[in-house]
Amino acid sequence: MKKRIVILGAGESGIGTAMLAKKNGYDVFVSDGAKIKDNYKADLLHNEIDFEEGFHTEEKIWNADVVMKSPGIPEKNELVKKIRSKKIEIISEIEFAYQHKGNSKIIAITGSNGKTTTTSLTYHICKLAGEDCAMVGNIGFSFARQVAEDPKKLYIVEVSSFQLDDIKTFRPDVAVITNITEDHLDRYEYNINNYIKSKFRIIENQTADDVFVYNMDDKTTTDYLQQHLVKPKTAPITMSKELPEGAYLSNAALHLKWKGEDMQMSVDDFTLKGKHNQYNSMAASMASTAVGIRKEKIRESLQTFESLEHRMEPVATIRGVEFINDSKATNVNSTWYALECMTKPVILILGGVDKGNDYDSMKELVKEKVKAIVCMGTENLKIHEAFGDIVSLIVNTENAKDAVQSAFHFATKGDVVLLSPACASFDLFKNYEDRGIQFKQAVKDL
């Protein structure tokens, strides 16, 4: 009897899982309550995979041996509750990919902020060092699709907490938690401890042979580690002190100490600027070192890496006003980091779907650096309440074009217009990429 897998959600992770399951001889059925995108439908048809869209046929789901649910579907979804009540196993796409990855290695990276940059930089290092590797997960192809179509010896996987919620055996050789701040609390019953536990599942199956890279300066992470024993070998990163083993910054130099070796490099040579990127660079360097990448390759990579689209991306300078696209800043902490790097007066474009944000941590930086706030979202009351007594100019706009024009109107030569919304984008845009693209287009239209 073929094992039957039902896949809920036909996005990138769902399609990747379907393709990998089909290749491994499963009886596969894909069910999406919405319309399936044309490119994904083409994948299903090409691989002769049975699917439905626009509804769920429950009797086709109840006979599943295992269900893979898309990370976007919350636990409180009625169908998920029914599947749970019938005791059908639910797994995530990264779990399924892990079960079929063979003897390849995995570096898995999670965190509230910096995970995409850290993942991209780790991949850049490994690729430059000549490794047979792929960057997968929340960035680019799904892990499962990569394993199905073009297996590699090393996977650098960006992992979200939603993907970790349904793992069983997933065990990375190197796990990285960049930091943990309030994010996605709407999915975790507005309880930060649920979210923290979810992030730490990345190390739950690790053994003493594996490595865990963590940020020693992140209080949430260190508080958790003080209360829980961990099995993997730890490799901390810090800016606050010298370490016998791990990565640290001292006198503007990166020190990378591992297995008796010590590499040093001036932070002035990093292509990525700003304090948050120094953390990302340390995490990526440490993770790469842990899989045996040579120090000179790490040094070369840190000098050649190019920053990502929608993450502190310079767009243009118009009449002396600089425009920066940081649309990927979907939480308060990301925006805090963006403001922290700013050396010029800022016109800040904020707003979108609030995920339970607390703006208190931003107030000092806003007071110090921001001369006007342009709200770009359908619900801006919380922003007005948080910053109304600090910033004299706060206006509401309803699209990227108006936001950019308002910001330009308030700016004078030598200012920066920074799109760093601290919120999700789903009220006015498809996603943060769409928001960033519309912002860039509006800047070009000026």
CA distances from 390 to 113, 316, 368 (A): 26, 28, 9
For residues 210 and 353, state if they share a domain.
Answer: no
pLDDT of 307: 67
The residue that leads in pLDDT, 424 or 149, is 149
Over the stretch 330-341, which tens digit does the pLDDT of each residue have?
A: 888 789 878 987
Domain holding 328, by residue range, is 313-445
What pTM was estimated for this model as a whole? 0.76
* Pairwise CA distance, residues 71 & 73, whole Å: 6
Percent of the chain scored above 70 by pLDDT?
Answer: 99
**Alpha carbon distance 391, 24 (integer Å):** 58
Contacts of 350 by beta carbon, 8 Å cutoff, 6+ apart: 335, 373, 374, 375, 376, 377, 383, 420, 421, 422, 423
Q: Are 257 and 298 in a shared domain?
A: yes
% pLDDT > 90, the chain = 77
Q: Does residue 188 share a domain with residue 147? A: yes
Q: Among 76-85, 133-142, 244-253, name the one with the lowest average pLDDT.
A: 133-142
36 has a pLDDT exceeding 80: yes
* pLDDT over 80 (residue 189): no
Q: In whole angstroms, give the CA distance from residue 426 to residue 441.
A: 19
Same domain, 169 and 220: yes
Token pair for 355: 């995920």
The stretch 103-122 carries a mean pLDDT of 93
Q: Which residue has the tokens 């912002």?
A: 439
Average pLDDT, the chain: 93
Q: What is the pLDDT of residue 368?
A: 94
Task: Note whether 337 and 364 are same-domain residues.
Answer: yes
Nearest residue to 107 (alpha-carbon basis) of 90, 86, 129, 78: 129
The answer, yes or no, to whether residue 361 has pLDDT greater than 90, is: no
Q: Domain count for the chain, please give it.
A: 3
Closest CA to 325 of 337, 336, 338: 338
Query: Do 423 and 353 touch, CB atoms closer than 8 A?
Result: yes
Listed residues 41, 63, 91: the one ending a domain: 91
Does residue 260 contact residue 229 with C-beta atoms inside 8 Å? no
Instruction: Supply the pLDDT for residue 184.
Output: 64
Last residue of a domain, one of 51, 67, 91: 91
Lowest mean pLDDT among 68-72, 98-102, 173-177, 245-249: 68-72
Q: Residue 13 is part of a domain; what is its CATH number? A: 3.40.50.720
Interval 194-210 mean pLDDT:
95
Residues 87 and 101 in one domain: no
Section 238-265 average pLDDT: 94
* 391 and 372 Cβ atoms separated by less than 8 Å: yes
Residues 281, 147: one domain? yes
> Would the pLDDT of 188 be above 80?
no
- Of 286, 304, 322, the domain-final residue: 304
Rounded-to-integer distance, Cα 399 and Cα 294, Å: 47
Name the residue with tokens 């902020």.
Answer: 113
Of the listed ranges 100-104, 180-184, 388-392, the least confidently predicted one is 180-184
Higher per-residue pLDDT: 199 or 426: 199
> Given this model, what pLDDT does residue 348 score?
98
pLDDT at 186 over 80: no
Same-domain status, 264 and 155: yes
Buried b / exposed e along 89-122 (16+ C-beta atoms within 10 A): ebbbbbbbbbebbeeebbbbbbbbbbbbbbbbbb
Residue 140 pLDDT exceeds 70: yes
Per-residue burial over 336-356, b = 16 or more CB atoms within 10 Å of its CB, e = otherwise: bbbbebbeeebbbbbbbbbbe
Q: How far is residue 238's CA from residue 215's CA, in Å, rounded to a whole number?
A: 6
186 against 97, higher pLDDT: 97
Q: In whole angstroms, how large is the CA radius of gyration of the chain?
A: 22
Sheet with 27-32, strands from edge to edge, namely 50-53, 27-32, 4-8, 66-69, 89-91
Average pLDDT of span 359-363: 90
Confidence of residue 353 (pLDDT cuts 50, 70, 90): confident
Residue 356 has a pLDDT of 80
Q: Domain check: are 86 and 100 in the same one?
A: no
337 shares its domain with 209: no
Indicate which CATH number applies to the domain containing 188.
Answer: 3.40.1190.10
My answer on whether 100 and 86 are in the same domain is: no
CB 211 within 8 A of CB 173: yes
What single letter denotes the amino acid at residue 53? E
Q: What is the pLDDT of residue 355?
A: 76
Pick the residue with more confidence: 203 or 194? 203
Q: CATH number for the domain including 433? A: 3.90.190.20
pLDDT reported for residue 50: 97
Residues 294 and 361 grouped into a single domain: no
**314: closest CA among 372, 265, 274, 270?**
274
> What residues contact residue 438 under an 8 Å CB cut-off, 6+ apart?
399, 400, 401, 429
Spatial separation of the C-alpha atoms in residues 276 and 18, rounded to whole Å: 37
252 pLDDT above the threshold of 70: yes
Give the span between the Cα atoms of 83 and 182, in whole angstroms: 29
Q: Residue 240 contacts by C-beta under 8 Å, 6 or more apart in sequence?
A: 216, 217
